[in-house]
């Protein structure tokens, strides 16, 4: 009667109404399958900060002029926009960029609009001559996610540049998620007016005369309309010239045509970069993604657009040189294979433990229902399928089967006691119902709180934590519904075969050995606790010695070599250095390790070059990218006249990707900051042997010819100072004086000197300018009021956080952890930098510092929430304390696993540590909950601890083995992303293997030590029953 009255609940419902349970679980699967078709696929969760960049050109302006007159003004306006987290900028000769980083919760479109409004308010105060002021929703310093090469067998470079600018770039920018297309190697067609200084002098003509005449060459203005009763006739006054012949015929004065003192012809613009693909000249297009956009979706869109353009244009060809999405797709594919392997391993482990392959039907059903059902939650919450959510599903494989194992093992145990199949299914499930719910709530309590951290770590863990929590929650429902339903319909176990009998005998021997060992431990509990504390202390001292980095070195399938030459060198010099550097890459091409070689000479600056060498697929080579990078670095070690760095990149997309620590010294005066930075760099080289290649980016080595104008003398001679800029730019480097409209295209007209490339600076002093008409209009040599001074300036001026900054970088030597290097640099900066200056880290170093703090907070929050959940579940502190006290020892086991495997502490291994917290707590709950049940049944604390340890040995060992062996595919995997998967795998495989000792031996000892201070939970219930009975009796008596 007692059981009949207690026949309700999910286990009983599952046995009584199996089809209802099957339909409910099928609905979960259908939701997951539907979500699979619509869920977004990307590399990582969307952790990008909203970033907006402001760019502008100011032809001829020095970095100091831009910094003082433009950059400072733009920075100040942008900094007042709501939600700004950081503003950084850089001013170079003729151009500037301001990058505004916003807080994570700010909408990118709103941020861009706010920046546009802020810039518009100060635009009137900017100097005249500022050009191409643009605002884009991307980091101006961002690396392109794709590199395209455009070539043509028939079109000249200027014609190909026109096609790229007019047709290809607009098509690519229209792809969703593309913020900008960065071209290199293009040379637009221009009209060159190349003057002969000697002929000009002979004819009494000045550069101002020529510039004024050329500006008048474009004369196309509307003159209104003639109206009549019948029609309106538009009147257009057009006196423009459109061909070199017409320009040559322009009259400087009666009897003197422009063609008599200058050559006029079409030609490509001066080259600012050379781009080659396997030796062929091409135009490069770098696809820059918007902040918060999806690299995989961009790749698909761009590749579709490239295919269409190639199909529609027979005279050109676009090739994809590099594509970050190749690595992402490969890494996702590898994770899916690892997931499939983990499922098979877990099912095999369960079958081996239970000795009945029919019994594996329960986990074989529970795993796909839980994992596929989680896909529905991923889509519903707006998450994506990425490396972290897929890893969460993979790691959840061992956890989702745990609940089914616990239910199935206990049902089998009750059937072995003689109960019928259905009764054993219901009663066996009820006995572990609370334990399953408690472990599920604990795991949810571990993973969900980390999702609310506001920093990079919190945003990175958000999807991982929720996916783990949802998968575990679904698995508990499946275990408590499908588990008893399937178990109640399993036939009686057949007589075991010879293999199983031998395995069973070995298992029983192990149980007897464990029984004796646990009895010994309970008798000498103080020694057990002392030994465990010593091991934990050893791990505590070992942890700071572990290498610490943001992400493990990744083989992303591409070698990127960057070369920086001295400031002020020509493009031809950089191209020669690039050719020498290619000698280190060519052997890899001959060995079949590199698919193609893509080079850029003049990448952003004339002294910078880049080599991009995509490697053959991972399964076609036995050497890693890091090994090839070491080989190339050794070959380029002695390359004179260039600083060589090899960029590798990482999943988070931060830092230089070349193993360097990026930092900046901030202050108020560039000269003083540079002096402090140079002194700091020397101290780094002498006091920090773990760092090499220390570089200060502020170098006053850019040659500059300063034109000093004597204003008083110029006034006496009647020469206006305002027009000198045009004269000097035309004679020194050439300048654009106007644009002509030809075939609906604006064609720049460049005024330049025939002697511009070989003129001695002193020759310029003999050139003449015209005095004002009031002074007679005489020709005055520049030498009468101008002198030249040769100086050196910095090629780039940076700002960080609205303070002037000098950027620095240093490369860590082999074996030097990033975290240790950052700490040593901070200590050295505190001692060496002058008052009023500070050291700020950027890239990997800054993210590592932020992540390190947040992960510590994450673990503290997770432990606190777990403890509170356990207190609520156990209705007491002691049992919760037993569970929680085992967790630090599990983390100690993980530290030993990291040390033994040589794995660093990084963002991925920290995910494994977080998972370890949940698994340790889950297994301890199984033991402690059963011990509490035994105490409620009248057993002593020692008897309850001993019997609970013996009885729960099998399910704990099974769940441990399932989780541990389920991580084996992470260790054995190869290909894209193998390094990050291995970092998690070693924590799970090694950490849980060692942590099993603490769970099986330390938890019973702790229970024995702490549970004696609390009463069994049944006492409170019995006391309540007695008081209620007394109250009822008193009421009846009244």
pLDDT per position as a tens digit, 83-133: 888 888 888 888 888 988 888 778 888 888 999 999 988 888 888 878 888
Here the CATH number for the domain that contains residue 131 is 3.30.70.1430
Judge whether 770 and 782 are in contact, CB under 8 Å. Answer: no
DSSP labels, 619-640: GG-SS-HHHHHHHHHHHTTT-T
Domain that holds residue 245: 191-220+239-267+719-777
439 lies in some domain: yes
DSSP labels, 372-428: HHHHHHHHHTT-EE-HHHHHHHHHHHHHHHHHHHHHHHHHHHHHHTT--HHHHHHHH
Here the CATH number for the domain that contains residue 724 is 3.30.2090
Domain shared by 937 and 1009, yes or no: yes
| Final residue before a domain boundary, out of 742, 760, 777 | 777
Tokens of 946: 């001993």
How many angstroms separate the Cα of 640 from the Cα of each of 580, 628, 634, 636?
10, 21, 13, 9
Domain shared by 891 and 983, yes or no: yes
672 lies in some domain: no
pLDDT of residue 2: 41
Q: How far apart are CA 676 and CA 529, in angstroms?
A: 53
- Average pLDDT of the chain is 79
Domain shared by 390 and 413, yes or no: yes
411 lies in some domain: yes
Note the pLDDT tens digit of each residue in 352-368. Answer: 776 666 667 777 777 78
Name the domain count of the chain.
6
pLDDT of residue 757: 56
Q: How far apart are CA 831 and CA 829, in angstroms?
A: 5
- Of 297-306, 528-537, 973-982, which has the strongest mean pLDDT? 297-306
Tokens of 763: 């020759």
Note the pLDDT tens digit of each residue in 867-924. Answer: 887 787 777 788 888 888 888 888 888 888 888 888 877 777 877 777 777 777 777 8
Here the CATH number for the domain that contains residue 308 is 3.30.70.1320
58 lies in some domain: yes
661 lies in some domain: no
DSSP β-ladder status, 280-281 and 274-277: antiparallel
Domain shared by 479 and 489, yes or no: yes
SS3 (DSSP) at 129 = coil
Q: How many CA atoms does the CB half-sphere of 17 hold within 13 Å?
A: 9
User: Which residues, in sequence order, are bridge partners of residue 706?
Assistant: 789
Q: How far apart are CA 518 and CA 910, in angstroms?
A: 32
Q: How far apart are CA 549 and CA 619, in angstroms?
A: 27
**What is the band of 472 on the pLDDT scale with cuts at 50, 70, 90?**
confident
Domain shared by 292 and 163, yes or no: yes
How many angstroms separate the Cα of 527 from the Cα of each of 15, 948, 1001?
47, 21, 12
* φ/ψ of residue 642, rounded to 5: -160, 140
- What is the pTM (predicted TM-score) of this model? 0.71
Note the pLDDT tens digit of each residue in 29-88. Answer: 888 888 877 777 777 777 667 888 898 888 778 888 888 888 889 988 888 888 888 888
* CA nearest neighbour of 662 among 834, 905, 906, 840: 840
Domain shared by 154 and 277, yes or no: yes
Tokens of 92: 């170079």
Q: Helix 324-354 and helix 295-312: axis angle, to 10°?
A: 130
204 lies in some domain: yes
Judge whether 581 and 560 are in contact, CB under 8 Å. Answer: no
* CA nearest neighbour of 658 among 796, 806, 843: 843
The beta-strand segments (E) located in 504-634 are: 558-564, 598-601, 608-614
Evaluate the CA torsion angle 12, 16, 18, 24 in order and state its sign.
negative
Residue the block writes with tokens 């640099």? 825
* φ/ψ of residue 239, rounded to 5: -125, 25
**What is the band of 7 on the pLDDT scale with cuts at 50, 70, 90?**
very low
Q: How far apart are CA 779 and CA 939, in angstroms?
A: 115
Judge whether 615 and 556 are in contact, CB under 8 Å. Answer: no
pLDDT of residue 4: 39
Percent of the chain with pLDDT over 70: 86
Domain shared by 255 and 296, yes or no: no
Find the radius of gyration of the CA atoms of the chain.
37
9 lies in some domain: yes
Tokens of 173: 């920018």
* φ/ψ of residue 46, rounded to 5: -75, 90
Does 226 or 962 have the greater pLDDT score? 962
Residue 3 in this model has a pLDDT that exceeds 80: no
Q: How far apart are CA 390 and CA 917, in angstroms?
A: 20
- Of 295-299, 511-515, 743-747, 918-922, which has the strongest mean pLDDT? 295-299
Domain shared by 261 and 389, yes or no: no
Q: How far apart are the first and last CA of the chain?
A: 32
Mean pLDDT of 437-460: 70
Domain shared by 453 and 526, yes or no: no
Q: How many CA atoms does the CB half-sphere of 417 hold within 13 Å?
A: 12
Domain shared by 733 and 642, yes or no: no
Residue 682 in this model has a pLDDT that exceeds 80: yes
């Amino acid at each position: 009667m007692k059981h009949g009255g207690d026949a309700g609940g999910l286990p009983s419902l599952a046995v009584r109404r199996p089809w209802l349970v099957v339909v409910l679980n099928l609905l979960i699967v259908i939701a997951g399958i539907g979500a699979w078709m619509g869920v977004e696929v990307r590399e990582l969760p969307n952790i990008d900060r909203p970033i907006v960049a402001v760019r502008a050109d100011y032809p001829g302006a020095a970095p100091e002029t831009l910094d003082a007159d433009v950059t400072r003004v733009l920075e100040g306006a942008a900094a007042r926009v709501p939600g700004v987290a950081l503003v950084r900028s850089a001013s170079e000769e003729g151009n500037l960029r301001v990058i505004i980083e916003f807080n994570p919760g700010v909408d990118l479109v709103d941020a861009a609009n706010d920046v546009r409004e802020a810039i518009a308010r100060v635009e009137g105060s900017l100097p005249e001559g500022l050009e191409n002021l643009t605002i884009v929703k991307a980091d101006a310093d961002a690396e392109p996610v794709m590199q395209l090469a455009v070539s043509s067998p028939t079109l000249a470079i200027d014609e190909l540049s026109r096609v790229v600018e007019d047709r290809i770039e607009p098509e690519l920018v229209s792809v969703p998620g593309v913020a900008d297309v960065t071209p290199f190697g293009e040379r637009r067609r221009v009209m060159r007016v190349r003057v002969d200084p000697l002929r000009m002098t002979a004819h009494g003509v000045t550069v101002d005369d020529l510039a004024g005449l050329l500006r008048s060459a474009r004369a196309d203005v509307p003159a209104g309309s003639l109206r009549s009763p019948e029609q309106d006739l538009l009147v257009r006054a057009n006196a423009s010239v459109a061909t070199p012949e017409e320009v040559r015929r322009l009259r400087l004065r009666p009897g003197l045509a422009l063609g008599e003192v200058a050559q006029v012809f079409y030609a490509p613009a001066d080259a600012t970069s050379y781009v080659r693909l396997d030796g062929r000249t091409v135009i490069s297009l770098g696809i820059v993604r918007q902040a918060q956009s999806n690299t995989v979706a961009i790749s698909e869109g761009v590749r579709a657009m490239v295919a269409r353009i190639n199909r529609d244009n027979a005279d050109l060809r676009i090739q994809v040189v590099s594509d970050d999405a190749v690595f992402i797709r490969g890494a996702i594919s590898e994770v899916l294979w690892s997931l499939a392997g983990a499922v098979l391993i877990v099912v095999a482990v369960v079958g081996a433990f239970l000795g009945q392959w029919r019994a594996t039907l329960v986990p074989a059903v529970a795993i796909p229902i839980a994992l596929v059902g989680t896909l529905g939650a991923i889509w519903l919450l707006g998450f994506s399928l990425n490396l972290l959510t897929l890893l969460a599903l993979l790691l959840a494989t061992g956890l989702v089967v745990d609940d089914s194992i616990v239910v199935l093992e206990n049902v089998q145990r009750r059937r072995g006691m003689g109960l019928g199949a259905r009764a054993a299914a219901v009663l066996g499930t009820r006995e572990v119902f609370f334990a399953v719910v408690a472990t599920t709530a604990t795991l949810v309590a571990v993973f969900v709180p980390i999702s609310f951290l506001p920093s990079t770590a919190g945003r990175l863990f958000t999807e991982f934590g929720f996916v783990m929590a949802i998968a575990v929650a679904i698995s508990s429902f499946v275990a408590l519904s499908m588990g008893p339903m399937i178990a109640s319909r399993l036939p009686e176990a057949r007589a075991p075969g010879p293999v199983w009998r031998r395995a069973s005998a070995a298992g029983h021997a192990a149980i007897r050995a464990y029984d004796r060992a646990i009895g010994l431990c309970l008798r000498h509990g103080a020694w057990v606790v002392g030994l465990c504390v010593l091991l934990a202390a050893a791990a505590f001292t070992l942890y700071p010695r572990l290498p610490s980095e943001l992400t493990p070195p990744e083989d992303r399938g591409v070698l990127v070599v960057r070369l920086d030459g001295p400031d002020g060198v020509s493009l031809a010099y950089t191209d020669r250095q690039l050719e020498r550097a290619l000698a280190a890459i060519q052997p890899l091409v001959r060995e079949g390790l590199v698919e193609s070689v893509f080079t850029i000479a003049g990448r952003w600056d004339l002294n910078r070059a880049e080599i991009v060498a995509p490697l053959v697929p991972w399964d076609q080579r036995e050497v890693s990218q890091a090994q090839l990078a070491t080989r190339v670095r050794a070959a380029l070690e002695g390359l004179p006249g260039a600083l060589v760095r090899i960029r590798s990149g990482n999943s988070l997309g931060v830092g230089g990707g070349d193993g360097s620590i990026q930092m900046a010294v901030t202050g108020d005066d560039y000269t003083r900051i540079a002096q402090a930075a140079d002194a700091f760099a020397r101290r780094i080289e002498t006091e920090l042997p773990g760092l090499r290649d220390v570089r200060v980016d502020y170098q006053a080595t850019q040659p500059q010819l300063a034109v000093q104008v004597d204003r008083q003398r110029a006034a006496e001679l009647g020469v206006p100072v305002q027009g000198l800029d045009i004269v000097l730019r035309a004679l020194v480097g050439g300048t654009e004086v106007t644009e002509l409209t030809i075939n609906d295209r604006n064609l720049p007209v460049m005024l330049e000197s025939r002697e511009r490339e070989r003129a001695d600076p002193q020759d310029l002093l003999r050139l003449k300018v015209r005095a004002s008409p009031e002074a007679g209009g005489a020709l005055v040599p520049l030498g009468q009021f101008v002198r030249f001074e040769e100086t050196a300036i910095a090629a780039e001026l940076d700002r960080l956080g609205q303070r002037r900054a000098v950027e620095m970088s240093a490369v860590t030597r082999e074996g030097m952890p990033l975290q240790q290097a950052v700490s040593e640099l901070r200590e050295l900066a505190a001692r060496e930098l002058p008052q009023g200056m500070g050291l700020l880290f950027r890239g990997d170093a800054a993210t590592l510092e932020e992540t390190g703090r947040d992960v510590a907070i994450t673990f503290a929050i997770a432990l606190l929430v777990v403890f509170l959940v356990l207190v609520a579940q156990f209705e007491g502190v002691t049992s919760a304390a037993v569970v929680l006290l085992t967790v630090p020892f599990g983390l100690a086991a993980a530290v030993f696993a990291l040390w033994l495997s040589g794995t660093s502490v990084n963002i991925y291994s920290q995910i494994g540590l977080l998972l370890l917290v949940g698994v340790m707590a889950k297994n301890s709950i199984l033991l402690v909950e059963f011990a509490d049940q035994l105490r409620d049944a009248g057993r002593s604390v020692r008897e309850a601890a001993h019997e609970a340890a013996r009885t729960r040995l099998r399910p704990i060992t099974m769940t441990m083995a399932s989780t541990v062996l389920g991580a084996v595919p992470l260790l054995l995997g190869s290909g894209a992303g193998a390094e990050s998967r291995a970092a998690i795998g070693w924590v799970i495989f090694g950490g849980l293997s060692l942590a099993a000792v603490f769970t099986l031996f330390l938890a019973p000892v702790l229970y024995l030590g702490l549970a004696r201070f609390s009463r069994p939970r049944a006492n409170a219930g019995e006391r309540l029953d007695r008081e209620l009975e007394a109250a009822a009796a008193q009421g009846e008596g009244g």
